[in-house]
């Protein structure tokens, strides 16, 4: 009951705000949605505590039938186990803080429109909660698409801005490409297992070990194909290399939206899916190697791009992309627990960073370019401190949360032998260095040095109100505490006690044990890389502020390559978007209008000519007509008898 309340309270808030927002006004809509969220957070956290520490038993709460056709039956049901309870607690807690923060952040918006924003925020949270509590893949897909819709609405919240509309559509459509893979994966699971409820699938994993499926001219183990298809879905939602292009653009939405997308909801869905489907994925080693490979490549790719970006939100956006890569490295090597752990800590410090960035933007009169910031740390010391905490956690500095989770990911990658795992390890190490570097580049350029904004903006720099800073401080507490409090429970000796049966590790998978026995240098290296990244950024941006520009000039090609995000957008525009649009136009103008319509119109003109001759046959005598009809019938019947 607690659990169901946690899931549906945000929906209720959202609906009230959506349907009556205009009448009850912004204040009431904010109150309603925030009350809904607070109730959800209390219930969600209680449900989590009750399950993990209070001895409540996991179970399934059935709500009703959804889709049913023949042997394909799906119910609306909430799955209550450690994995879903952890996610619910995290999502409701962070989303509540983001709601509260938004009251301050959106206070400059025109009155009478903000209710829409809060309704969408709660809808977003609800969709994510449905996703993580799903008891079957179709309901997970419901949440999956629901967060897609909510993100579309929120990214496009400022719908009068063309760039926001474009980003919103891009997010939805790119996600849909992944979703198609996911949907096909669900269909294949149904074909193989005959069910798509988690209990049904997991119970039958043993029986279908050696099932095969033929596709693309080859025959593969069905589990491998399932793994790849599901991961394609995860790539879309979690912005992995290839389908990542929507995420950086998604910052077109108001900053709290970015925090919600990047931290609590949406992008973590793919990682969650990997953990949720671990009982099947454990037996798909090739698919999992692919997961590690893509995750590692994303981690490194996004970090390189983050190094040269100038938009404060864009840098953080790429860091999300990169950190998600880490989570997939861990999932790919079978350390799902480590990936969920990184997901949790990341949720706190990434929400902190985005909301902190929002506070900066708020202070700087909506300036987002860090080249036009600087010298403001004394004016907004609290925001400055919060950004420090977030960055320390992101860079993986002891004892902040990121230190524990990033180390865990990399140790798992090292401990899991295999070429892809090692590729993951080294990509992760390099990315750790770059992450620390761009984080401090951001900090220094934003807060230190000589002010580069105009005097008018500088005069208005002010610390944000309490309604914004209190959520920041709570998130900062999370970014400090979640690491060392949860690491022993989630990954320590008694991890089985914590996770119960919610995540499955196959009998061949000892990574959770082995990761604690890696050599000392493996443990130390990520932290060393992080600290040297910080040191380098400090040396360059504090010591030699002219150097970056010289470097950019010297290595102009590389610089532009990174600045333009490896030219992914341009490439996709050339090979997908434009050809599709021109194909669309030519199919319409040539295919439909000329060819397909050409034939009947041609026939019509032939008929018109023929009709001229037929007119002569038309004598007006009924006898003639009757005779003609008779001939017709005879001909038809003969044809029929002949072909029979």
Partner 1 sequence: MNALNAAGFPLLSLLTFLPLVGGAVIMMIRGPEAAVAANARWTALWTSLIVFALSLVLWFKFDTSSADFQFVEEVAWLPQWGINYKMGVDGISVLFVLLSTALVPLCILASWNSIETRVREFMFSFLVLETMMVGMFAALDFVVFYMFFEGVLIPMYLLIGVWGGPRRVYAAIKFFLYTLAGSVLMLLALLAMWYAAGSTDIPTLMATQFKPAVQTWLFLAFFASFAVKVPMWPVHTWLPDAHVEAPTAGSVILAGVLLKMGAYGFLRFSVPMLPDATAYFAPMIFALSVVAVIYTSLVALAQTDMKKLIAYSSVAHMGVVTIGIFTVNEQGISGALFQMLSHGVVSGALFLCVGVVYDRIHSREIARYGGLADRMPKYALAFMLFSMASVGLPGTAGFVGEFLVLVGAFKVSFWLALLGSMGMILGAAYMLYLYRRVIFGGITRDELKSIMDLSPREIAVFAPLVLLTLWMGIYPSSFTVFWDASVHAMVEKHVAALASTSKLAGVIAP
| Contact footprint for partner 1 (CB under 8 A) | 18, 22, 64-72, 138, 141-142, 145-146, 148-149, 152, 156, 159-160, 162, 165, 168-169, 172-173, 176-177, 179-180, 183-184, 186-188, 190-191, 213, 215, 580-581, 583-585, 587-588, 591-592, 596-597, 600, 604, 636, 640, 643-644
Distance CA 438, CA 573 (A): 28
Q: Closest CB to partner 1 among 1 and 643?
A: 643
Distance CA 9, CA 92 (A): 10
Residue 56 class from Cβ within 10 Å (0-12 exposed, 13-18 middle, 19+ buried)? middle
Query: Which among 75, 70, 73, 2 has a CA at the least distance from the CA of 39?
Result: 2
Distance CA 335, CA 601 (A): 65
| H, E, C per residue of 90-111 | HHHHHHHHHHHHHHHHHHHCCC
**What is the signed CA dihedral for 490, 494, 499, 504, rounded to 10 degrees?**
100
**ω into 399 cis (within 30 of 0):** yes
Q: Closest CB to partner 1 among 70 and 206?
A: 70
- In angstroms, give the least distance from the CB of 19 to partner 1: 9
- In angstroms, give the least distance from the CB of 142 to partner 1: 4
Q: Closest CB to partner 1 among 130 and 412?
A: 130
- In angstroms, give the least distance from the CB of 581 to partner 1: 7
Residue 500 class from Cβ within 10 Å (0-12 exposed, 13-18 middle, 19+ buried)? middle
Q: Closest CB to partner 1 among 70 and 543?
A: 70
Which tokens is 245 given? 């292009």
Distance CA 549, CA 207 (A): 61
Distance CA 495, CA 341 (A): 12
- In angstroms, give the least distance from the CB of 24 to partner 1: 15
- In angstroms, give the least distance from the CB of 138 to partner 1: 7
Question: What's the Cα-to-Cα distance from 73 to each of 4, 182, 195, 204, 306, rounded to whole Å?
Answer: 22, 18, 8, 17, 45
Question: What's the Cα-to-Cα distance from 315 to each of 212, 363, 478, 541, rounded to whole Å?
Answer: 43, 19, 22, 16
Q: Closest CB to partner 1 among 584 and 606?
A: 584
- In angstroms, give the least distance from the CB of 160 to partner 1: 4
- As a whole number of Å, the CA-based R_g of the chain is 29
- In angstroms, give the least distance from the CB of 580 to partner 1: 7
- In angstroms, give the least distance from the CB of 106 to partner 1: 17
Strand pairing category for 72-80 and 218-221: unpaired
- In angstroms, give the least distance from the CB of 637 to partner 1: 8
Q: Closest CB to partner 1 among 22 and 516?
A: 22
Q: Closest CB to partner 1 among 55 and 64?
A: 64
Q: Closest CB to partner 1 among 190 and 561?
A: 190
- In angstroms, give the least distance from the CB of 367 to partner 1: 23
Q: Closest CB to partner 1 among 1 and 642?
A: 642
CB 178 within 8 A of CB 235: yes
Q: Closest CB to partner 1 among 101 and 157?
A: 157
């Amino acid at each position: 009951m607690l659990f169901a309340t946690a899931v549906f309270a945000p929906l209720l808030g959202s609906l009230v705000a959506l349907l009556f927002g205009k009448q009850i006004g912004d204040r009431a809509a904010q109150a309603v949605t925030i009350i809904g969220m607070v109730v959800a957070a209390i219930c969600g956290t209680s449900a989590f505590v009750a399950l993990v520490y209070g001895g409540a038993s996991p179970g399934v709460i059935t709500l009703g039938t959804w889709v049913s056709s023949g042997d394909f039956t799906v119910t609306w049901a909430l799955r209550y186990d450690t994995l879903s309870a952890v996610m619910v607690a995290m999502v409701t807690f962070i989303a509540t803080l983001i709601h509260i923060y938004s009251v301050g952040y959106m206070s400059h918006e025109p009155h009478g429109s903000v209710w829409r924003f809060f309704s969408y925020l709660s809808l977003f949270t609800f969709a994510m909660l449905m996703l993580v509590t799903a008891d079957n893949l179709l309901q997970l897909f419901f949440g999956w698409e629901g967060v897609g819709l909510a993100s579309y609405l929120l990214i496009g919240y400022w719908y009068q801005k063309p760039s926001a509309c474009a980003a919103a559509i891009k997010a939805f459509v790119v996600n849909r490409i992944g979703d198609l893979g996911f949907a096909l994966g669900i269909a294949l699971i149904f074909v193989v297992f005959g069910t798509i409820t988690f209990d049904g699938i997991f119970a039958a994993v043993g029986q279908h070990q050696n099932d095969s499926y033929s596709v693309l001219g080859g025959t593969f183990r069905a589990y491998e194909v399932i793994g790849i298809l599901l991961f394609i879905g995860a790539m879309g939602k979690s912005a992995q290399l290839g389908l990542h292009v929507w995420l950086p653009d998604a910052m077109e939405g108001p900053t709290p939206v970015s925090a919600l997308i990047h931290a609590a909801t949406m992008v973590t869905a793919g990682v969650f899916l990997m953990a949720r489907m671990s009982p099947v994925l454990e037996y798909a080693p090739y698919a999992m190697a692919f997961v590690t490979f893509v995750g590692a490549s994303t981690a490194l790719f996004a970090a390189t791009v983050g190094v040269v970006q100038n938009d404060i939100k864009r840098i953080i956006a790429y860091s999300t992309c990169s950190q998600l890569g880490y989570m997939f490295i861990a999932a790919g090597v079978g350390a799902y627990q480590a990936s969920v752990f990184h997901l949790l800590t990341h949720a706190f410090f990434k929400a902190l960073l985005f909301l902190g960035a929002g506070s900066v933007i708020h202070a700087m009169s909506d300036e987002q370019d860090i080249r036009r910031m600087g010298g403001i740390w004394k004016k907004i010391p609290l925001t400055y401190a919060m950004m420090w905490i977030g960055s320390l956690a992101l860079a993986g500095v002891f004892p902040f949360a990121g230190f524990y989770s990033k180390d865990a990911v990399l140790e798992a990658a090292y401990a899991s032998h295999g070429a892809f795992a090692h590729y993951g390890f080294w990509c992760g190490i390099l990315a750790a260095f770059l992450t620390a570097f761009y984080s401090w580049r951001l900090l220094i350029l934003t807060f230190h040095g000589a002010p580069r904004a105009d005097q008018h903006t500088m005069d208005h720099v002010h610390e944000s109100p309490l309604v914004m800073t209190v959520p920041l401080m709570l998130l900062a507490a999370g970014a400090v505490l979640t690491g060392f409090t949860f690491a022993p429970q989630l990954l320590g000796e008694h991890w089985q006690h914590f996770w119960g049966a919610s995540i499955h590790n196959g009998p061949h998978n000892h990574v959770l044990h082995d990761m604690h026995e890696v050599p000392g240098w493996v443990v130390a290296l990520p932290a060393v890389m992080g600290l040297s990244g910080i040191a380098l950024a400090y040396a360059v941006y504090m010591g030699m502020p002219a150097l970056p520009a010289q470097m950019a000039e010297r290595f102009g090609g590389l610089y532009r390559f990174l600045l333009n995000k490896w030219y992914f957008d341009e490439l996709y525009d050339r090979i997908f978007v434009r050809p599709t649009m021109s194909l669309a136009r030519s199919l319409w103008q040539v295919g439909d209008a000329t060819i397909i319509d050409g034939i009947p119109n041609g026939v019509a003109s032939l008929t018109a000519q023929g009709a001229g001759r037929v007119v002569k046959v038309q004598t007006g005598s009924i006898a003639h007509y009757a005779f003609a009809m008779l001939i017709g019938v005879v001909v038809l019947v003969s044809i029929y008898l002949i072909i029979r």
